[in-house]
Structures are given as C-alpha cells and as structure tokens.
Structure 1
Amino acid sequence: MSSDKTLWEYRLKPEDSGQKYLSILKHKFHFSLKVLQHLKLGERVWVDGRFTYLTARGKEGELLSIQLFSEEDSPIQGENLPLAILYEDEYLLAVNKPVGQVVHPNRRYPANTLGNAVIGYWQRKGEQRLYRPIHRIDRNTSGVVIIAKNQFAHQQLAYQLERGHIHKRYYGFVQGCLQQNNGTIDSPIGLAPHSFIKRQIQAEGEPARTDYRVICRYSEASLLEFILETGRTHQIRVHCEGIGHPLLGDDLYGGETSLINRQALHSAVYAFLHPVTGLPLVIRAPFPEDFKHLLKVLRKI
C-alpha cells in the first residue's frame, strides 16, 4: 500500500459485514460516483493493507483505507501573489480574499485572481493540484473562501453545501436604520431583464432566504449580520435592495458610494464538518481595512 499520508480510513462495524465496499462508501459516506470511478481506475482502495476491489464484501473489524491524494496539473497559471491563509491542512485551504480580486480566472480577468495566487503558492511548495474552490464570492466582496485540495474533499464539501449544512455568516453596512432588530427576507431571485449580471426579486425566480440581525445602528447606516439559508448570486445585495436598505457602496443595487467605493459586504464565518475527520470546523476572517475605516467614519457622523 502507498505510504502517502493523505488517507481516508474506516474500521468496518457489525452492520457493514456482507456489504460491498462500494455500497458502504456510496450510501454511508456519500462518495460520489465520479470519485468512486476515480478510485477504481487508480487502484487506491485497500483492506488491512491489501488492494481490494470495490465490489468485494466487507467484514466487521476490517480497516478500509483509501488514498485520496493524486498529483494533478492545473491549467491555471501560478503567480506569486499575496495570500492571506486562515487555515490549512492536507485536505483544505481557507483564505481571506481581498477586495477587488476575482475568485477564478475568466476571459475578463485572466490573471491576478485568487486561483492564480493559490496555484502559485502550491507550486512554490512543490505541490501539483487542481484549484477547487467550494464557493465563490463577488470580486468586491471580501472574506472567507474555502478551497479543497483533492477531489474527495471537494465532493464531500459540495455535498454539505447542497444540503445547507455549511453555515455562512456575512457582515454588511446598509443604508438607513432598520427598525426591526432581526428578520428574514424570503424572496425568490432571478436574472434581471436585458442583463447578464444584475439580479432582481421576481416571483418566478429561484427560492432565496436570508436571515439578518442588526448589530449596530448609526445615524446614516446600520451594521447587519447575515446568515444565508440559500446561496443565490448577489443574494444579500438583492435582498437588501428589496427591503429599501441597499448595501453602502453597492452602485449596481442603488447603494450610496460616498462612504465606501465597493459593496460593504464581508464573508466573515464559515462553519462546517471537516470532510475527512467529520469534526466541526469554523473559519473566521477579520474585517478588512476599508470596513474598519467605515466604522470610524460612521461613528463620527
């Protein structure tokens, strides 16, 4: 068996006896068919140190081991860019994305993206990996971005994300003073007519639900905590516009730009279960400098 330390291991229990390893991995641990096919082709599954087929049947007490890591060449060009690492282990990388940086290279932004920075960081460490962000945040939203280091970790976190098991907390400054201390915005969101970017609340849109809590009120604005129950594009921005309190700096959705020159939104906390250990993991990103400056200004108004 490979000595690669990036292993997933499981000791079979009484209820696993007679079950195919394929069935255990698929139904008990939610391995995707794509990952299982990858494991099969790579011959990276062992029982008690000996190679086995996924169609073989297990026995109580056996140690099922899977090699998760394999080197993969990325099509993204690595660059030596600043990278604010919040957490890292063999399976995950969590970073604090700065304002103005795109998460993934595209035609409009082919370089200087978070993807270029991450690949460059790994290359300097002598590691070959694909860039697998679990989620994206807007170019002018700062904060937490989680990147999986292998296909299995990505699939496991995507499974949590799809089922609402990853808890995301944002902070943002909105115009005006909200009267309610907390509330829920439950309004579907769809693409605005004649636009490839802007979204709007519309009856035929996708379900979208945002919980909010007022942290502090100022004479011209309020600092809110947002918890997303869904993850639609521009969800917080659209919902804030919809209740008549757009995010400060968000000119696309009617926000005042005199105090900050980007939407005043920060991805502050991601809480989820580690894809391999299953233990709770909480990633926090501190406020960026423009948020700190905005706080000082609002306190003086």
Structure 2
Amino acid sequence: MHHTLEWKIKEVESGQFLRDYLLHIKKISRKALADIKFHGGEIKVNGESVTVRYILRTDDHVSIAFPPEKVSDWIRPHAVPLNIVYEDSHLLVVNKPPQLPTIPSRDHLEGSLAGAVIYYYQENNIPFTFHAVNRLDKDTSGLMMIAKHRYAHDLFVRMQKEKGIQRSYTAIIHGELSKHSGTVNEPIGRREGSIIEREVRTDGQMAITHYQVKETLGNASLVELILDTGRTHQIRVHMSYIGHPLMGDTLYGGKKEIIERQALHSSSIRFFHPIENREFFFESSIPNDMEEALKALRD
C-alpha cells in the first residue's frame, strides 16, 4: 500500500521544474525523491506519470506516491494500549507512560512504544513504520510526537532543529533552588567508560535548559523546564550539575525515597503542522506516581 500526497499548483508556482517545487517548496529530501524513483513510488501530474524535469503550470495537480515502508525486524508488534492525544494522516501525539522504553534494545525486544505503535498500525491498516520525532527515556512519561511516514518525519525533524517545536517538562527535584528561574547553558557529552551516562564536559555538545520553580516543597521543588536543545538525558544531567538532581534518578544522584523512577514528565508541546497548516498545543497532566510524590512532600 502506498501513501499519496496531492497538491494543486498556484500561479506563483508555475514555470518551475517539478524537481525544484518538490525540493524547495514541499521540502521533500533528495533521498526521498530517489526512493520514489527506484523503490516503487510514483510521481504524477494530472494523472500522468512524469519526470522531475516536468515544467509546472497553474492548476496542475501533482501527486506523489511514496514507496511502502518496511518495519524493522527489531520492532516486535505487541498489544499495549496507546493513549493517543491527537492523530491525523501524518502524525500521532501520544502520552507515554513511565517504565515503557521508546524503542526496543538488543536485550529487550519485547515491550516498547515502537512495538505498541506498530501493532496499532497493523490493526488499523496503516502502512507505515515507527518514526519518533522526539524520544523520551524509558522512565520519563508524557507527550511524544510520532510521524507516520518518512516525509512527515523529515518535516518535523527539520522543524525541531530550527526550534519550531516548543516542549516543556515538569520535574520534582531535590532541594530548593536559590533563584526561582534561570538557565543552565553547559555542554553535554558521554561520560568516559559508560555507554549510558552523560555529563557536562567542555568537549560536549551545546545544551541549554531553562527552569522555573512552580512550588517549593521543603527540601524539594516542583519545576517547569523548557529545552533549547535536545541532548540525551539533558534535564537529568543539567539539574544534577547544579546540585539538584531529579527525585528517583539514581543514575545522576537522586534518591528513590519518594518515587521509584526519575520524576520527569513531558507536559506540553506546541508546534505548527507543516502539512495541515495549523498550530497545535497539547498538555498532559503528571501521572499518578508523581502526584503521589507531591502529596507525600506536601503532607
């Protein structure tokens, strides 16, 4: 089964090669165009197959049929209920529970958000594979964007690199911050000798985290965090670096006295949908374990 997109050419778009229209106006990558040509896709104008050297005219109807997508052998479909916040032909926004990895690992092929999404696709005859726009750690809960097809994934990832997707997180941290708002601007890289742990290091990648205290809870704080960059473990590393690790985050100095996993939740997301031409904003309340942790701290 193919996925097809269609457009009607405006007067200001006429006179150019179809290739330039697809590359520069519709932002289809050169690799995607090559896949269409060599792997079973199709490009048509007014119902007739054409090459990308076709010169467009006003009111032409352009249709692109993308080749079928193959699901990776690493992803095992399995029936895990998906909390779908939004869905259209190009995008899923889901609310990921804690303790569910985004993708399977070599040692644990079963039980992942990717497997749950593929199962959902198969049950609903959706001919795509898993394309995460953003990823969350296994024990981080909250909102995730999943592009349904490669073209949408390319658009959203490009938008994310250009800071067109705004995400905020809610966390419970150890201690009381001296300033109620601030920014941590410190590069992050992999800790030597570890394939998992990250740290602030001069040769790392630029990483910027903004924080604001929402509530002070004795020797703990509820904070909102907004990222300018999306490095692995960024919030966890930055908060630990300034002396306020996330509760439950034993990898970076937190303790499990109140909660059994890092108290981190992806709580809101705002973006402009480049295919639907609409802005979207979604919010997600913190899950029960974080609510219980807050209740214990307030009592």
Q: Could you tell me the TM-score, scaled by structure 2's length?
A: 0.92
Contact 2:41 2:64 in 1 (8 A): no
Q: What amino acid does structure 2 have at the position aligned with 1:48?
A: N
Shift of 1:250: 0.8
Taking structure 1 as reference, are residues 110 and 43 closer, same or farther at Cα in structure 2, changes over 3 Å only?
A: closer
Would you say 1:40 and 2:33 are equivalent positions?
no
Q: Which residue of 1 aligns with 2:57?
A: 59
Cα 1:245/1:151, change in 2 over 3 Å: same
Q: Percent identity between the aligned chains? A: 37
Letter in 2 for 1:16: E
> What whole-Å deviation, never above 9, does each CA across 1:95-132 have from its counterpart, x for those lacking one?
11111111111112210111111111222223332111
> Secondary structure at the residue paired with 1:286?
coil
Looking at structure 2, the residues matched to 143 and 84 of structure 1 have their Cα atoms a distance apart, in angstroms, of: 10
| Pair 1:241-2:256 in alignment | no
User: What amino acid is the match of 2:124?
Assistant: K
Q: Distance in 1 between matches of 2:269 and 2:32?
A: 25
The residue that corresponds to 2:268 in the other structure is 269
The one-character-per-residue Cα deviations of 1:221-266 (angstroms, maximum 9, x if unpaired) are 1111111100101000010011111111111111122011111100
| 1:149-168 per-position Cα deviation (integer Å, ceiling 9, x unaligned) | 11111111111122221111
Give the aligned CA root-mean-square deviation in angstroms: 1.9
Matched-pair contact (CA < 8 Å) for 1:212–1:227 = yes
User: What corresponds to 1:200 in structure 2?
Assistant: 199
State the alpha-carbon separation in 2 of the partners of residues 284 and 74 from structure 1. 31
Give the count of matched residue pairs: 297
Shift of 1:90: 1.3
Does 1:11 pair with 2:8? yes
Residues 46 and 270 (structure 1), Cα distance of their counterparts in 2 relative to 1, 3 Å cut: same
What corresponds to 1:292 in structure 2? 291
More divergent stretch after superposition (31-40 vs 249-258): 31-40
Instruction: Give the drift of 1:77.
Output: 2.0
- CA distance in 2 between counterparts of 1:278 and 1:108 reads 41
- Aligned to 2:223, what secondary structure does the other structure show? strand
Using the alignment, how far apart are the partners of 1:279 and 1:36 within structure 2? 26
Counterpart in the other structure of 1:162: 161
Deviation by residue 1:251-285 (Cα, 9 ceiling, x = unmatched): 11111220111111001122222241221122332
Structure 1 stretches lacking a partner, 5+ long: none
Q: Determine if the alignment matches structure 1 residue 29 to structure 2 residue 26.
A: yes
Q: Cα–Cα, structure 1 residues 17 and 129, in superposed 2: closer, same or farther, change >3 Å?
A: closer
- What does residue 99 of structure 1 align with? 98
Structure 2 residue aligned with 1:49: 47
CA distance in 2 between partners of 1:127 and 1:63 (Å): 25
1-side partners of 2:51 and 2:41: how far apart?
8
**CA distance in 2: counterparts of 1:264 and 1:43, whole angstroms:** 45
State the partner residue of 1:215: 214
* Deviation of the 1:92 alpha carbon: 1.1
94-103 vs 119-128, which deviates more? 119-128
Calculate the TM-score normalised by the size of structure 1.
Answer: 0.92
Structure 1 residue identity aligned to 2:81: P
Secondary structure, aligned partner of 2:206: coil
Distance 1:46 1:273 in 2: 28
Deviation at 1:297, TM superposition (A): 1.1
Note closer, same or farther for the CA distance 1:198–1:28 as it changes in structure 2 (3 Å cut).
same
Task: Structure 2: give runs of 5+ residues left out of the alignment.
Answer: none
Q: Does 1:146 align with 2:145?
A: yes
Asked whether the 8 Å contact 1:209–1:230 carries over to 2, the reply is yes
Q: Is the 8 A contact 1:271 1:280 kept in 2?
A: yes
